[in-house]
Amino acid sequence: MELTRFCSTSRVVIVAGKGGVGKTTTTAALALAAARTGMSVLILEVEGKSGLSAMFGRPPLTYEEMELAPGIRARTLTPDEALLDYLHNAGLRRISKRLVNSGALDVVATAVPGMKDILVLGKVKQLELRRAADVILLDAPAAGHAVSFLLSPRGLLDAVRVGPIRKQAADVIDMLSDPVRCQVVLVTLPEETPVNELVDTAFAIEDRVGVSLGPIVVNGCYPHLEVIEDEDEIERDAQLADVFVSERESRDLARAAEFRARRQELQASEADRLADRLPLPQVRLPFLFHAELGRPELDVLADAFTTGIEALPNA
């Protein structure tokens, strides 16, 4: 599948996964890959504490849009500021200022369970309807909150019978349930617990939320290496390379090679188990041996994402 076709499948792509699996990194890599095709990208961050902008060498995100790279813009979305936006657009600018000054804003936002989430999702819907970018990427909350986050409009639809809140919830559900407008890309690591949680999250999102699922991103995959685990063979290779390796170093290298081989086997096994339990195409991103990720590392991941998408069959 061509990357441009994948990026054109849905106008909003929600990237979700268990905390620590690299969903923010995946969001950044996908944004960079899409921008390379000439598409405009808008990244929306909802938790306010990701290091997304730092990967591009930019300051922390705010509610105002910021350019991260050519073709890529980003901003945070918070319930408070989304509510202010809503009141401003409704011609209630004076009331919104009083809410801020009195501290009543938080009371309004938390008056109904799910209200904060629907404020954020309502802003996403507004940006999608305005065609704010060719592709809107939503860096969603961690998996546990992601399901309740996406379920919030259905809860409000049941709780509120009339009025603007009900209409907002219905409009958000229309966006989430339309695969042309929205899809979810789930991210995991090739390890037992993240895979188990991703499967549970996938079924919950599909069955209870009704959002279309895109390819699964399996992040942090070790590049395949033919490893040598035999100490004698390591010593022979060292001699051929005219490098001195002590007996202790040879033993340590053999143990490291054994560890690497076991990790490769474990990761391959978990990725295969995921494919059996969740029959969705997979895009595998490499593990990068860097303490911090910057633009060079994002370029590597964007290349891998592009290659992975291009290897998928056309739907």
* Average confidence score pLDDT of the chain: 86
Cβ proximity of 16 and 201 under 8 Å: yes
In terms of pTM, does the model score above 0.75?
yes
For the chain, the domains span 3-224+274-310
The pLDDT score that the predictor gives to residue 111 is 62
Q: Going residue by residue through the chain, which has 315 residues, state the pLDDT in tens, using 9 for 90 and above.
A: 888 888 888 999 999 998 889 999 999 999 999 999 999 999 999 876 668 999 999 999 999 999 999 999 999 998 878 777 777 776 666 666 666 666 655 665 566 667 788 888 999 999 999 999 999 999 988 767 788 888 888 887 777 777 777 888 899 999 999 999 999 999 999 999 999 999 999 998 888 888 999 999 999 998 877 766 566 676 677 677 777 777 787 778 778 878 888 888 999 999 999 999 999 999 999 999 888 899 999 999 999 999 999 998 875
CA dist 48 and 196 (Å) reads: 27
The pair of three-digit structure tokens given for residue 174, joined into one six-digit string: 């229309």
The three-state (H, E, C) secondary structure of the chain, written as one string:
CCHHHHHHHCCEEEEEECCCCCHHHHHHHHHHHHHHCCCCEEEEECCCCCCHHHHCCCCCCCCCCEEEECCEEEEECCHHHHHHHHHHHCCCHHHHHHHHHHCCHHHHHCCCCCHHHHHHHHHHHHHHHCCCCCEEEEEEEEHHHHHHHHHHHHHHHHHCCCCHHHHHHHHHHHHHCCCCCEEEEEEECCCHHHHHHHHHHHHHHHHHHCCEECCEEEEEECCCCCCCCCHHHHHHHHHHCCCCCCHHHHHHHHHHHHHHHHHHHHHHHHHHHHHHHCCCCEEEEECCCCCCCCHHHHHHHHHHHHHHHHCCCCC
6 contact partners, CB below 8 Å, separation of at least 6? 214, 309, 312
Specify the fold of 3-224+274-310.
Answer: Rossmann fold (3.40.50)
The radius of gyration of the chain's CA atoms, rounded to the nearest angstrom, is 23
Neighbours of 313 (CB within 10 A): 6
The pLDDT score that the predictor gives to residue 314 is 75
- Tallying the residues shown for the chain, one arrives at 315
Amino acid 87 reads: L
The pLDDT score that the predictor gives to residue 156 is 75
The pLDDT score that the predictor gives to residue 96 is 63
The pLDDT score that the predictor gives to residue 141 is 84
Exposure string (b/e) for 76-99, b if CB count within 10 Å is 16 or more?
A: bbbbbbbbbbbbeeeeeeeebeeb
The pLDDT score that the predictor gives to residue 169 is 86
The pLDDT score that the predictor gives to residue 282 is 95
For the stretch 46-65, pLDDT in tens is: 876 668 999 999 999 999 99
CA dist 136 and 150 (Å) reads: 16
Cβ proximity of 264 and 229 under 8 Å: no
